[in-house]
Chain A
Amino acid sequence: MTNLMTTLLMQSSTAAEGPTPKTFWLPEGASTFAEQNDWVFNFINYINYFFFFLVIGLMVVFVWKYRQKGREVYARGPNHNTLLELGWTIIPTILVVFIFFIGFRGFVSMKTVPANAYQIDVTALRYGWVFKYPNGATSEDLYVPAGKPVKLVMRSEDVLHSLYIRDFRVKQDVVPGRYTTMWFQADHPTQGEDFHDLFCTEFCGTGHSNMNRKVFVLAEADFDSWVVEQGRWLDKIAPEELYSKAGPKLFARCAGCHTLDGKPGTGPSWGNYDGSGNIWERTSKAASAHKVSGKSVSELVGAGKQYETPEGYLRASILNPNEHIVDGYGPAMPTFRGQLSDKAIQALIDMMKHLDEFDAKGNFVGKK
């Protein structure tokens, strides 16, 4: 029955040439779930078309055929018909039971994570995603191996988010305070710059519609080498090039809340916004006008004070951001402890020191 339905209703074959193409209703299907479950959607659709045209058709016919003639009022028609009523109750019931069942089967498969799944840890935050691979590599976008089941173990830093990859037909809420999991298997590598969309689909605040990311499916060999490269990318950069090469990539994670050119955002701009200079200038100046926790930042930074050096203060701002909050802002910044290595933090601080060499979007443009 399933095979018959599949053959009748699928609009393309599921041979291993590529993802199923986009149809009128559904986007391209790039995972095994799409192949397995799209037919359920289409089947329901056809049943819906049938009942819709049946009901509307009858309605139109009746309204035309039985329209009032003059002021005639008393129309004699049946008040009930047990057989008919039973029929139109039982038949839809049987239909919905069948529909429930096919949906249930697809669901069971989506909830049963294969034992050999490749695990990727996901952190959702306002407003971005961090994907962490078994070797410690992290990435902003999701790279997955083709042909293998992939399991995502997800946690949130702050509020509810939801990870949705529409081409894979998968979605799972990311709940703070616990871990949620989902899995999928994508069999067709993405070509070149092509990617699948990853959306957040649980309202999480201002940037909810601005935390889309990309999903790349790589053939197994390509994926293995990517993961290794990704894990080592920071290590391979020479210290003097850390800020120019690593800075922009790492800054992408900060860009959701911090601008570089003084424009307002959820967090204080790294650029000059209050007259006290850019982030490095205002932290390192001896008598800074920049106020933090009600006092000038210079009271916190310096010999004998809480932070010996401005680097120490900036590092603490990244790892323990709510200890001192810049005046005029709230405690909205999550900690990046565990997500940014010492070297990554060093790269960011270096970038702050050379902020004039970056454009407003965070691209390195060199000294002017």
Chain B
Amino acid sequence: MTTLDTRPIHDEVPGNYLTFRRGILSWIFTLDHKRIGVMYLVAVLVSFFVGGVMALLVRTKLLFPGEVEWMTFDQYNKAFTLHGAIMVFLVIIPSIPAALGNFVLPIMLGAKDVAFPRLNLFSFYLWIMGAICAVYSLIAGGFDTGWTFYTPYSSQFSTGGTIPVLVGVFILGFSSIFTGVNFVVTIHKLRPPGMTWFRMPLFLWALYATALIQILATPVLGITVALLVVERAFNIGIFDPVMGGDPVLFQHFFWFYSHPAVYIMILPGMGIISEIIAVHSHRHIFGFRFIAFSSIAIAIFSFLVWGHHMFTSGQSPLMNVLFSAITFSVAIPSAVKVFNWLATLYKGSISLNTAMWYGLSFIFLFTIGGLTGIPLAVLSTDIHLHDTYFVVAHFHYVMMGSALIAMIGGLHHWWPKMTGRMFNETWGKIGCALVFVGFNMTFFTQFMLGSQGMPRRYYMYKPEFQIYHHISTGGSYIMGLGFVITAIYLLHSLFAGRKAPANPWGGASLEWQCTSPPPHDNFSVTPRVGDCYDFSAVSWDEKQQGYVVDVEAHVAAAQSGKGH
């Protein structure tokens, strides 16, 4: 068939998006979603390493229960605040949608680009501006409020870098909003014929649900930080009790965004896992409709539960009860997704690539993260656990152990597509194993620390907790090593990796039906849509050392009604 570009790799592929135009200006002014995705990827990964260094600083201090000469109380407070703010605003929230989503979404959808490419580039530059504000805030004195910026500490006290970082967060919020606008319109309007909603891969459903949250929740964050800036600069009196304000009001405004934000972080990750599990098990995803609908349901319910971060804040007991009850409504769809993925493994044909290792790690870590959310959602147990290391462990399991692991898994899954290179699988698995073991060592001990009563954001602690901290810090170094190894072999593959076939893993969605790397305009003819989880038309091609999709058979199978 000549409609698809699956020329054998040993023929020189005439051009791809990387070679399309050369020179730094062609990147700075690019409108190509793939290039924008790559730029985001580099930016996000660099921020991840910076945030990771902050974390290692924090963990290293925590080897010692008392004061140390080389880090003061204030420096420690700034280190953990910076770690949180960088990771939340610069890394996890943009990571999957902006870095992987930008690259994959149009191709997977069958479009040539996102709906608004210039807006897309603008979103990227907004991210850069937000990052610059964050860096500037360090020079301006740093900020030590915790990434949650609770008032009145952040409005009355704290240090000079607080306003710049809040401005940075405001700008980053708009980066996120515009990405969300772009994705919603792209998915609604740029689908090719045959790509109905129920033919769309689950990653796109996840990105769509995420975009809904980005659009509706992020403006509230924008206003919240803007109000905090005004409060801090002019003391207008909305959060400062001296001038008649209410500190808890800030918490309501803040968490109204920040709770949906955590679903911005996890939903795309879940979408990636759906893809990885299905493709690497070579099996149709189990329960497509449920997974698709559950993403939307989670997005909607996520707006109703913010108060479960505030059970001890002084809000009324009635509010506490309502928020606790509704919180379980978001827990159930997430749990059922895990069962669906397990059922996808059942009777599959599972190839244990590095991406699949990450996928399986996700299931392990997300199960723990999700289950430990239950004692936090339950009122009587949360009173004991709130603001302790138990919460820290829980959110690291879901934000890092799940969302970030999914992102790295997705990175490995789409690495051949993005770069045209295969990485070394052995090193990939070593990296994954180190990260997995290190992660569990670091954070599982923190559950125990928390339930035994160690509060969070503590520079000093009681000596009885020291053994836990030693294990935790040891784990963090192992994890750091794993990430460094991952970076090394991925970078190495760019120069010396085997050239990638179009379809190294045997996927059936549209992105596997163009070359690796894709051509500049993705598809020279309108792609033809089948069931992206139907692998009946996929077969291994020895010459290419990759899989091939027989498009005619694939499309015919879909039209004959074999479906979800």
Within 8 Å by CB of A107, from B247, B380, B455, lies B380
Whether, in the assembled complex, A51 has its beta carbon less than 8 Å from a beta carbon of chain B, the answer is yes
Q: How far, in whole Å, are A137 and B387 apart by their CA atoms in the complex?
A: 31
List A residues 166-205 near B (Cβ within 8 Å): 166-167, 169-173, 175-178, 180, 197, 199-205
Known: A55-B342, A73-B349, A75-B535. A166 touches B314 (CB 8 A): no
User: Are B384 and A166 closer than 8 Å at their CB atoms?
Assistant: yes
User: Are A158 and B387 closer than 8 Å at their CB atoms?
Assistant: no
Q: How far, in whole Å, are A92 and B378 apart by their CA atoms in the complex?
A: 15
Q: How far, in whole Å, are A72 and B536 apart by their CA atoms in the complex?
A: 11
Known: A25-B448, A79-B286. A171 touches B384 (CB 8 A): yes
User: Are A59 and B364 closer than 8 Å at their CB atoms?
Assistant: yes
Identity of the chain B residue whose Cβ is nearest the Cβ of A29 in the assembled complex:
B384
User: Are B564 and A80 closer than 8 Å at their CB atoms?
Assistant: yes
A74 CB to nearest B CB, Å: 5
Whether, in the assembled complex, A162 has its beta carbon less than 8 Å from a beta carbon of chain B, the answer is yes
User: Are B246 and A177 closer than 8 Å at their CB atoms?
Assistant: yes
Within 8 Å by CB of B290, from A68, A85, A178, lies A85
List B residues 331-350 near A (Cβ within 8 Å): 331-332, 335-336, 338-340, 342-350
Say which one of A97-105, A229-237, A348-356 lies at the interface with B. Answer: A97-105
Whether, in the assembled complex, B60 has its beta carbon less than 8 Å from a beta carbon of chain A, the answer is no
Whether, in the assembled complex, B157 has its beta carbon less than 8 Å from a beta carbon of chain A, the answer is yes
User: Are B388 and A107 closer than 8 Å at their CB atoms?
Assistant: no
Known: A201-B386, A203-B145. A69 touches B349 (CB 8 A): yes
Within 8 Å by CB of B342, from A27, A59, A78, A208, lies A59
Whether, in the assembled complex, A221 has its beta carbon less than 8 Å from a beta carbon of chain B, the answer is no
Say which one of B12-20, B316-324, B488-496 lies at the interface with A. Answer: B316-324
User: Are B349 and A74 closer than 8 Å at their CB atoms?
Assistant: yes
Q: How far, in whole Å, are A68 and B74 apart by their CA atoms in the complex?
A: 54
- Best-surrounded residue of B151, B367, B506 (most CB of chain A within 10 A): B367
Say which one of A13-21, A36-44, A244-252, A295-303 lies at the interface with B. Answer: A36-44
Within 8 Å by CB of A63, from B152, B352, B387, B388, lies B352
Q: Which residues of B contact A81 (CB under 8 A)?
A: 343
Q: How far, in whole Å, are A265 and B246 apart by their CA atoms in the complex?
A: 30
Whether, in the assembled complex, B153 has its beta carbon less than 8 Å from a beta carbon of chain A, the answer is yes
Identity of the chain A residue whose Cβ is nearest the Cβ of B333 in the assembled complex:
A89
Q: How far, in whole Å, are A106 and B247 apart by their CA atoms in the complex?
A: 27
Known: A107-B379, A203-B457. A160 touches B247 (CB 8 A): yes
Q: Which residues of B contact A40 (CB under 8 A)?
A: 378, 380-381
Q: Which residues of B contact A45 (CB under 8 A)?
A: 375
Whether, in the assembled complex, B301 has its beta carbon less than 8 Å from a beta carbon of chain A, the answer is no
Known: A44-B378, A75-B535. A203 touches B453 (CB 8 A): no
Q: How many residues of A contact B (CB 8 A)?
A: 87
Known: A40-B380, A52-B371. A201 touches B456 (CB 8 A): yes
Known: A68-B350, A172-B312. A73 touches B282 (CB 8 A): yes
Whether, in the assembled complex, B462 has its beta carbon less than 8 Å from a beta carbon of chain A, the answer is yes
User: Are A44 and B375 closer than 8 Å at their CB atoms?
Assistant: yes
Identity of the chain A residue whose Cβ is nearest the Cβ of B245 in the assembled complex:
A177
Within 8 Å by CB of A104, from B144, B379, B456, B536, lies B379
User: Are A162 and B286 closer than 8 Å at their CB atoms?
Assistant: no
Q: How far, in whole Å, are A106 and B317 apart by their CA atoms in the complex?
A: 12
Q: Which residues of A contact B456 (CB under 8 A)?
A: 201
Interface size class on chain B is 35 or more
Whether, in the assembled complex, B263 has its beta carbon less than 8 Å from a beta carbon of chain A, the answer is no
Q: How far, in whole Å, are A52 and B460 apart by their CA atoms in the complex?
A: 33
B539 CB to nearest A CB, Å: 7
Q: How far, in whole Å, are A22 and B290 apart by their CA atoms in the complex?
A: 43
Q: How far, in whole Å, are A205 and B248 apart by their CA atoms in the complex?
A: 18
User: Are B457 and A209 closer than 8 Å at their CB atoms?
Assistant: yes
User: Are A209 and B332 closer than 8 Å at their CB atoms?
Assistant: no
Q: How far, in whole Å, are A56 and B370 apart by their CA atoms in the complex?
A: 14
User: Are B157 and A200 closer than 8 Å at their CB atoms?
Assistant: no
Q: Which residues of A contact B338 (CB under 8 A)?
A: 55
Identity of the chain B residue whose Cβ is nearest the Cβ of A58 in the assembled complex:
B342
Q: How far, in whole Å, are A84 and B345 apart by their CA atoms in the complex?
A: 15
Whether, in the assembled complex, A262 has its beta carbon less than 8 Å from a beta carbon of chain B, the answer is no
User: Are B367 and A77 closer than 8 Å at their CB atoms?
Assistant: no
Whether, in the assembled complex, B368 has its beta carbon less than 8 Å from a beta carbon of chain A, the answer is yes
Chain B 218-231 near chain A by CB (<8 Å), digits 1 or 0: 00000000000000
Whether, in the assembled complex, B156 has its beta carbon less than 8 Å from a beta carbon of chain A, the answer is yes
Q: Which residues of A contact B461 (CB under 8 A)?
A: 209
Q: How far, in whole Å, are A72 and B347 apart by their CA atoms in the complex?
A: 13
A357 CB to nearest B CB, Å: 27
A157 CB to nearest B CB, Å: 11
Q: How far, in whole Å, are A169 and B345 apart by their CA atoms in the complex?
A: 42
User: Are B347 and A203 closer than 8 Å at their CB atoms?
Assistant: no
User: Are B328 and A96 closer than 8 Å at their CB atoms?
Assistant: yes
Chain B 445-481 near chain A by CB (<8 Å), digits 1 or 0: 0001001110111111110000000000000000000
Q: Which residues of B contact A204 (CB under 8 A)?
A: 153
Within 8 Å by CB of B383, from A27, A72, A92, A107, lies A107
B543 CB to nearest A CB, Å: 13
User: Are A208 and B350 closer than 8 Å at their CB atoms?
Assistant: no
User: Are A78 and B336 closer than 8 Å at their CB atoms?
Assistant: no
Identity of the chain B residue whose Cβ is nearest the Cβ of A69 in the assembled complex:
B349
Q: How far, in whole Å, are A85 and B321 apart by their CA atoms in the complex?
A: 29
Known: A71-B540, A171-B383, A176-B247. A202 touches B150 (CB 8 A): yes
Q: Which residues of B contact A209 (CB under 8 A)?
A: 73, 455, 457-461
User: Are A100 and B325 closer than 8 Å at their CB atoms?
Assistant: yes
- Best-surrounded residue of B246, B286, B380, B535 (most CB of chain A within 10 A): B380
Q: Which residues of A contact B284 (CB under 8 A)?
A: 77, 79
User: Are B540 and A199 closer than 8 Å at their CB atoms?
Assistant: no
User: Are A76 and B314 closer than 8 Å at their CB atoms?
Assistant: no
Known: A164-B387, A201-B387. A55 touches B457 (CB 8 A): no
Whether, in the assembled complex, B179 has its beta carbon less than 8 Å from a beta carbon of chain A, the answer is no
Q: How far, in whole Å, are A201 and B281 apart by their CA atoms in the complex?
A: 46
A272 CB to nearest B CB, Å: 23
Known: A41-B381, A71-B540, A209-B459. A104 touches B332 (CB 8 A): no
Whether, in the assembled complex, A368 has its beta carbon less than 8 Å from a beta carbon of chain B, the answer is no
Within 8 Å by CB of A48, from B283, B371, B453, lies B371
Q: Which residues of B contact A99 (CB under 8 A)?
A: 374, 378
Within 8 Å by CB of A80, from B287, B312, B331, B540, lies B287
Known: A74-B536, A107-B379, A176-B247. A158 touches B451 (CB 8 A): no
Q: Which residues of B contact A172 (CB under 8 A)?
A: 312, 314
Whether, in the assembled complex, B424 has its beta carbon less than 8 Å from a beta carbon of chain A, the answer is no
Q: 7 tightest A-B contacts by CB?
A: A177-B241, A166-B453, A106-B380, A77-B347, A103-B378, A107-B379, A209-B458
Given contacts A77-B283, A79-B288, 13 further A-B contacts (CB under 8 A): A37-B380, A41-B384, A68-B349, A73-B547, A75-B347, A75-B349, A89-B336, A107-B383, A169-B383, A170-B384, A176-B152, A202-B150, A206-B77
Which residues of chain B have a CB within 8 Å of any CB of chain A? 73-74, 77, 144-146, 150-153, 156-158, 241-242, 245-248, 281-290, 312-314, 317, 320-321, 324-325, 328, 331-332, 335-336, 338-340, 342-352, 360, 363-364, 367-368, 371-372, 374-375, 377-384, 386-388, 448, 451-453, 455-462, 506, 535-536, 538-540, 547, 563-564
A–B Cβ pairs within 8 angstroms, 11 of them: A59-B363, A67-B349, A68-B351, A71-B540, A73-B547, A74-B535, A75-B347, A76-B283, A178-B241, A199-B453, A212-B462
